[in-house]
Structure 1
């Protein structure tokens, strides 16, 4: 009898390692797919492949999805200045769209009967994966042993060790997911609301104490809302190709200067409160610089409406609303809003801080006002003192009338 074939989204971590061995023991022919969205550093791709083969994968695929992730997801997150609950750049959550799509593609191309992922039922990733699989390949069975069996990390560790497989002590304590947008660290201290992650839990960012005493200055160039250039302390610009190269470089540089650490706490789409550590230097730097440039070139009404719409757009992506046509409408608005977001921003990184120092643009509203003789706090040739007095008088009238009306009650 021909074995049934399953494609497992495989990271090499504890959950997917358990799933691979469990599937093999159940009689599945297991194909593993590792979707690279920025989490594979030098040599790690081969170590993940070796782990998959050690655990019994009959075929292993590595799919490089970094450029597509940057083009379809990251550029719009920056245009939207999206930070979940005002502080978290949806590190790995927004990447699941691309990862799940590529896993489905591998499954369809290899005649699989089922697709599997290692998500638990306590977070949001299982919804993200399922949403993509149901939309693109509803004929495929979805198998999720960690979710269905409700296993603890300790139980998974014991299962593997009893079969002679080594398990890193750190993976037993923490679940670590890394990508271009950033790294998430869950487990241990994040199960409660009081304790902070210890120093050895962080993966690549330095502590503020260990960051260099001297900071660095960046010059970031944008064209219609997309970063196109970056130089450090006046040196030659960082290569802007492939399209994610600057973000990758800023993750490394920002991490060296203690930038990007945080712990996010918020409600998930399934209704529970979650807390997770994250490291996302590059996104926090680029969003800070992009927002500074927008302040120079966008009107107050544009900024206010865009902030609301950008948050809604980002929340929908974070919550796995991937294929509703309204997202196309949001992206059209974001693209339109960026027509004048072109220019340069000076940013300083110092001891965990991202400090915008200045910005300039051919579309600067500040420069346009100065050309008309309007300089804030200094004067204006466009109106007289008498006109300014009249404006202040009329502007104050609604409040004054309301105050008088309130005195009668």
Structure 2
């Protein structure tokens, strides 16, 4: 008997990956299908996901629980950089894909699989992120991407195909057709009525992790987050690992409607797309981190780090997690975090994260210097000499302008030597 080749399928139990198993059987009957569900904090019943994969035709199912690894080795790297794509998107999906790819390759090696399959569409960023990451780890693995091959052209047709194969859709219908991606950092919503930018999002129908601003409490809540070298380590005095920290902040932030954005973004593949993102805990963390950095980083480092943070977000968004440039950025960012230690107090109120105080032994803010009173460390008279030197180029510029307009103010003669 000829041994079948194996394919590892990135499996979530959602619409796209659920129909891929019967489709692979119909079109690649000689492949042994191994489903791999990488748990990065999506709120799914993994037992049901496993059963669904088996009942759909998978020969084996791996469930890889990597939630804490996802937070501490991926999300926290971006947090230290203050990375946000186009100044809004906190990269929830983009951080998850390279870790998912890493686990898919590990399972493929364990099983001796020649192929990896995924359910990313041919219009999305994730196909690039997954396949680039896989190629960065093991370029010999071949990819099967059904959305780029089959004749299914819409989610409506995908639903019809699922129904023809008796696949349980778990509440997905042509009326509730949003495409969602969730992990412990965020949940994204795309498709349906959101595809028309003239439509206002129906947040009451869409939101999963968060209250609407209207339903958020009328009384604010104070929290304190302690950081050590740029990493959040305590919430309200309680030490928490990455997974528990983000889970706790998601709950608190979700209550107060924190971190909900409606974003029209520029995709990697060249088109614009619209999505609703809920990132309650991540929004709280990045705002707290920014406040603390403003307290402990000197001006030039802070300003240059803003530039690096923007480029860092672009690299992550654009599937370059395993690039040498990102590694170099990580080294720079880590060097800036040595003094980012302290505690930040925040007030959460109806979608807003308000600064409420902070303390750090590494603070560069000095009340004696910054106050209006004269102290020993700063003599206000010294400012006169500083201003004279600082303004010198602008004085010369103005004098030249006066000379050129005929209002002679100063004689400056330059000539070539013979």
Same fold per superposition (TM over 0.5): yes
Within 5 A, what are the aligned runs for 1:2-401?
Answer: 2-26=3-27, 27=29, 28-41=31-44, 44-149=45-150, 151-168=153-170, 170=172, 172=174, 173-198=177-202, 199-231=204-236, 237-241=237-241, 243-366=242-365, 369-370=366-367, 373-401=368-396
Q: Does structure 2 retain, via aligned residues, the 8 Å contact 1:14–1:171?
A: no
Gaps of 5+ in 1: 232-236
- Stretch deviating more after TM superposition (44-53 or 168-177): 168-177
CA distance 1:221–1:171, shift in 2 (3 Å):
farther
- Stretch deviating more after TM superposition (151-160 or 316-325): 316-325
Q: Distance in 1 between matches of 2:141 and 2:378?
A: 69
Q: Does structure 2 retain, via aligned residues, the 8 Å contact 1:13–1:171?
A: no
CA deviations on 1:20-72 (whole Å, 9 max, x unpaired) are 1111223132110000111135xx11121122122111111100112222222
Structure 1 residue matching 2:149: 3-state secondary structure:
helix
Structure 1 residue 305, shift from structure 2 partner: 0.7
Structure 1 residue 404, shift from structure 2 partner: 4.2
Q: Distance in 1 between matches of 2:369 and 2:290?
A: 24
Q: Distance in 2 between matches of 1:79 and 1:156?
A: 40
How many residues align? The count is 397
Q: Does structure 1 retain, via aligned residues, the 8 Å contact 2:209–2:250?
A: no
Q: Distance in 1 between matches of 2:307 and 2:359?
A: 25
Q: Distance in 2 between matches of 1:386 and 1:250?
A: 48
Structure 1 residue 238, shift from structure 2 partner: 4.3
Q: Does structure 1 retain, via aligned residues, the 8 Å contact 2:223–2:346?
A: yes
Q: Distance in 2 between matches of 1:391 and 1:133?
A: 56
CA deviations on 1:205-225 (whole Å, 9 max, x unpaired) are 110111111121001000100
Structure 1 residue 101, shift from structure 2 partner: 0.9
Q: Distance in 1 between matches of 2:335 and 2:139?
A: 35
CA deviations on 1:321-357 (whole Å, 9 max, x unpaired) are 1222222221111111011100100011111111121
CA deviations on 1:108-137 (whole Å, 9 max, x unpaired) are 111222110000011110011111222223
Q: Distance in 1 between matches of 2:173 and 2:231?
A: 36
CA distance 1:147–1:406, shift in 2 (3 Å):
farther
CA distance 1:392–1:166, shift in 2 (3 Å):
same
State the TM-score, normalized to the length of structure 2.
0.90
Gaps of 5+ in 2: 406-418
Structure 1 residue 270, shift from structure 2 partner: 1.7
CA deviations on 1:233-259 (whole Å, 9 max, x unpaired) are xxxx44513x32101111121011111
Please report the RMSD computed on the Cα atoms of aligned residues, expressed in angstroms: 1.9
Q: Does structure 2 retain, via aligned residues, the 8 Å contact 1:121–1:148?
A: no
Structure 2 residue matching 1:380: 3-state secondary structure:
coil
Q: Which has the larger radius of gyration?
A: 2
State the TM-score, normalized to the length of structure 1.
0.92
CA deviations on 1:65-103 (whole Å, 9 max, x unpaired) are 122222221111110011111111011112100001101
Q: Distance in 2 between matches of 1:381 and 1:239?
A: 40
Q: Distance in 1 between matches of 2:168 and 2:71?
A: 34
